[in-house]
Chain A
Amino acid sequence: MVLILVVGDTHIPHRAHDLPSRFKKLLVPGRIQHILSPGNLCTKETHDYLKSLASDVHIVRGDFDENTTYPETKVVTIGAFKIGLCHGHQIVPWGDHQSLSSLQRQLDVDILITGHTHKFEEFEINGKFFINPGSATGAFSPLSNDVVPSFVLIDIQNTQATTYVYQLQGEDVKVEKIEFKKTL
Chain B
Amino acid sequence: MATTQLTAEEEQEKLMEQAKGVVNTEAFHMKRCLDNAKLMDALKHASNMISELRTSLLSPKTYYSLYMTVFDHLRHLEIYLYEEKHGKKMSELYELVQYAGNILPRLYLLATVGSVYIKSNEAPAKDVLRDLVEMCRGVQHPTRGLFLRNYLSEMTKDKLPDSGSPYEGKGGDVKDGLDFILLNFTEMNKLWVRMQHQGPVRDKERRENERLELRILVGKNLSRMSQLEGIDVAMYTESVLPRVLEQIINCKDRIAQQYLMEVLIQVFPDEFHLATLEQVLAACGQLLTGVDVKAIIVSLIDRLAQFAVKSPDTIPNEVDIFNTFFLHVGKVIDQRPNMEVHDVLSLEVSLLNLSLKCYPQKLEYVDKVIGFCVSYLSGLKSKETTDYTKPVAVKQIVNLLTVPIDNYKNVLTLLKISAYPQLQEYLSYTTRKKVSVDLVKNVIENGTIIGEPDQAEKFLALIQTLIEDSPDQPDRSDVDPEDFQEEQNMVASVVNMFDNDDPGKLYKIYLTARKAFIAGGQDRMKHTLFPLIFRALRLVTKIKDQRSDGTLTLDDDDWGKIGKKLFQFVHDTISQLKENKELCEWTLRLFLQASQSASYCDFETIAYEFITQAFTIYEEDIAESKQQFNALIIILSTLRTLSCFSDENNDTLVGKSAQYCKKLLKKPDQSRAASLVSHLFWITNTSSSSSSSQQQHKQERRDETRVFECLQMSLKIAGGIMDAGQKTNAFVEILNEYIYYLDTKCGTVPPSHIPTLIQLINTNLSAKEVDPNSPEIIAINTYYQNTLKYIQQKKESDSAYAHLSVQ
A residues near B (Cβ < 8 Å) are: 11-18, 21, 43-45, 63-64, 89-99, 101-102, 104-106, 108, 117, 119, 121, 126, 132, 140, 142-145
Contact = CB atoms under 8 A, between A and B. Distances in A.
Interface stretch (B96-104, B233-241, B272-280, B736-744): B736-744
A17 B444 contact: yes
A45 B782 CA distance: 37
A64 B587 CA distance: 11
Contacts of B485: 43-44
A76 B389 CA distance: 56
B681 to A, nearest CB: 12
B744 A105 contact: no
A102 B739 contact: yes
Contact of A16 (B496, B527, B630, B637): B496
B563 to A, nearest CB: 14
Contacts of A108: 779, 782-783, 786
Interface string B707-745: 000000000000000000000000011001101100110
B633 interface: yes
Task: State the main secondary structure of chain B at its contact with A.
Answer: helix
A64 B787 CA distance: 31
Contact of B545 (A89, A94, A145): A145
Contacts of B11: none
Given A13-B492, A44-B485, A93 B692 contact: yes
Nearest to A116: B691
A4 to B, nearest CB: 22
Interface of B: 444, 447, 482, 485-486, 489-490, 492-497, 527, 530-531, 534-535, 537-538, 541, 545, 586, 589, 593, 596-597, 600, 630, 633-634, 636-637, 640-641, 676, 679, 683, 687-692, 694-695, 732-733, 736-737, 739-740, 743-744, 779, 782-783, 786-787, 790, 793
A120 B596 CA distance: 20
15 contacts: A13-B489, A13-B493, A13-B530, A14-B531, A92-B633, A92-B636, A96-B687, A99-B689, A99-B740, A102-B736, A108-B786, A132-B690, A142-B593, A142-B600, A145-B545
Most chain A CB inside 10 Å of its own CB: which residue of B489, B538, B679? B489
Contacts of B493: 12-13, 16-18
A12 B783 CA distance: 35
Nearest to A145: B545
Given A98-B743, A99-B740, A143-B596, A119 B690 contact: yes
A117 B586 CA distance: 19
A142 B743 contact: no
B688 A143 contact: no
A29 to B, nearest CB: 18
A143 B641 CA distance: 9
A167 to B, nearest CB: 15
B492 A14 contact: yes
A105 B486 contact: no
Contacts of B733: 106
A145 B786 CA distance: 36
Contacts of A145: 541, 545, 694
B691 A119 contact: yes
B200 to A, nearest CB: 67
Nearest to B595: A142
B790 A92 contact: no
A22 B163 CA distance: 61
Contacts of A63: 589, 634
Given A43-B489, A45-B489, A98 B688 contact: yes
Contact of B690 (A14, A15, A18, A117): A117
B258 to A, nearest CB: 49
Most chain B CB inside 10 Å of its own CB: which residue of A16, A45, A121, A140? A140
